[in-house]
Amino acid sequence: MNSFVVLNVFWVLISAFHNVVTSVFIDPLGYIVYCPCMGRFGNQADHFLGALGFAHALNRTLVLPPWVEYRYGEPKSIQVPFDKYFKVQPLMKFHKVMTMEKFMDEVAPIEWPSNKRVSFCYMERGTSAIKSCNAKEGNPFGPFWDTYSIDFDGSEFYGPLHYDVYHHNMAEQWNNKYPAQKFPVLAFTGAPASFPVQQENRELQKYLEWSNQVTMKAETFLKEILPKGAFVGIHLRNGIDWVRACEHIKDSPNLFAAPQCLGYRNERGKATQDMCLPTKETIIRQLKRTIKTINNSGNKDNIIKSIYVASDSNHMIVDLNEALKRMKVEVFKYPESNPHVDLIILGRANHFIGNCISSFSAFVKRERDVHKFPSSFWAFPKDKGRGHIHDEL
């Protein structure tokens, strides 16, 4: 091989190496990583919108965390990649983001080496004798970080800073205290966001678009199982954990997602037991009235043919079918447990009735608001004059 060929091969190799190295873009303004360690999907979605707003205010790239799931019989949480359920590209219309998997593969080795990983928390947590965030103590904290082989070398207590970047110069305070040059990655033990979702972040729902994978399942059900014609989607939250939570509703006027109905200062009333856990009578009465109102609206293409039920426990299929048989309306549910498919179908219903207190219902309501689809809630608002419910149609 002559020297000319050797030199050409050399430059080809150098060029290839250069392209590989330079293909990794490093955000000079830094990154935000967090564990979505509170609750199930509804709560995590509330937190995600808040974290997206927070990252935008600080102008750091948001690392899209996996969704934390808990499966029956599994002792530890399961981490499901963000893009299994949602597309990444639409989020980039609002702010710079990247998946956790891509961050750990491409960026972390450069910007966040294993000996320089600090966890951020408001104040010390856990049972350790040493002041620490104890970021990996408990489930899902430990399994979450272990999924990506992440250990922490130190802790940073950021109090009294907080996440409300809309009413204070909070973003400036964060950037002044933690400049990207010194702290390229802010890794939070929990979501840098409030719960329920802050009012200003609700509109960010429009950047969440379902992945093709789950959308296809929902569309197949709608096409092949649900009768042709209009349908009402309802959410029944009635599992034993929810029953116990609703026992505290009188002492917790802003329990969970209640502000979506009552306002963030309870300016639209107080939470009631029937709002949290509606009785069978309330559900049937309100559902009948909703169907009659839609059917009598004069739109022949909008006649209700079916009801789609999403529930964490009792779908009430038999009860509802019996109650609605004279109206010639059938009741359906998805044949397997798949909350994400439930959410898509509820989002596409001609009308949706949800639970004021549930963050799962809140996700559906926000999504429907994007498309200006009608929604209402069980037992809200209450018609004081007649002692029953007045629907928001």
Band of pLDDT at residue 169, cut at 50, 70 and 90: very high
Mean pLDDT of the chain: 91
Using one digit for the tens of pLDDT, what is the confidence trace for 333-350? 999 999 999 999 999 999
Summarize pLDDT for 194-214 with one digit per residue, the tens.
Answer: 999 999 999 999 999 999 999
Q: What is the 3-state secondary structure (H, E, C) of 319-362?
A: HHHHHHHHHCCEEECCCCCCHHHHHHHHHHCCEEEECCCCHHHH
Residue 101's identity, in one-letter code, is E
| CATH 3.40.50.11350, the chain: domain bounds | 210-389
Tell me the average pLDDT across 244-253: 91
- Confidence at residue 383, expressed as pLDDT on a 0 to 100 scale: 63
Band (299; pLDDT cuts 50, 70, 90)? confident
Does 76 have pLDDT greater than 50?
yes
Helix axes 41-58, 170-177, angle to 10 degrees: 80
Provide the percentage of residues in the chain whose pLDDT is more than 70: 91
Q: What is the pLDDT of residue 308?
A: 98
Nearest to 107 by CA among 26, 228, 35: 26
Task: Assign domain 210-389 to its CATH architecture.
Answer: 3-Layer(aba) Sandwich (3.40)
* pLDDT above 80 for 20: no
Beta bridge pairs of residue 69:
78
Identify the pLDDT of residue 128: 67
Report the distance separating Cα 354 and Cα 256, nearest Å: 14
Categorise residue 361: left if φ over 0, alpha if ψ from -120 to 50, beta otherwise: alpha
Segments of 26-117 assigned E as strands: 31-34, 61-64, 67-69, 78-80, 97-99
- pLDDT beyond 60 at 225: yes
319-325 average pLDDT score: 98
With respect to CATH, is domain 31-201 assigned 3.40.50.11340?
yes
**What tens digit of pLDDT does each residue of 250-285 get?**
888 789 999 999 999 999 999 999 999 999 999 999
Instruction: Name the more confident of 384 and 100.
Output: 100
Per-residue pLDDT at 207: 98
Give the model's pLDDT for residue 254. Answer: 86
pLDDT of residue 3: 44
Q: Where in the chain is the domain with CATH 3.40.50.11340?
A: 31-201
